[in-house]
Amino acid sequence: MQRYAMRWSIEPCNAVSKQQAGVGQASNRVPRAVERTVPFGMLVQTLVIVWYALHGYHPDDVLTRRRAEPWYDNKTKPSFHDMIAKIRRTLIAARYRH
């Protein structure tokens, strides 16, 4: 039990990587691909969070989401899904702005 408690701080990170970043649905069969999929997913997850913290964050992001989806009345922080959505919108706008 104590060993599990020591690992708990990394378990949410593993869950997010597998569920929200889509790493858990990979259909890899080759051993090297299996070994690389989860670390790559965690790297992408980290890059999205860092990008959002440095360039994508805006104080109105959560307010905008709460207005669009009023059932999130207790939402106070952007989720990983919010960060992914913002980076997608930013990339699309940059591509078609010309």
Question: Which of the residues in the chain have pLDDT under 50?
Answer: none
Give the chain's domain count: 1
Q: For residue 70, give its domain range.
A: 2-96
| Residues 77, 58: Cα–Cα separation, whole Å | 11
Q: Is the pTM of this model over 0.85?
A: no
Instruction: Return the pLDDT at 93.
Output: 92
Residues with Cβ within 8 Å of residue 90, at least 6 apart in sequence:
56
Residues with Cβ within 8 Å of residue 33, at least 6 apart in sequence:
26
Instruction: Return the pLDDT at 75.
Output: 83
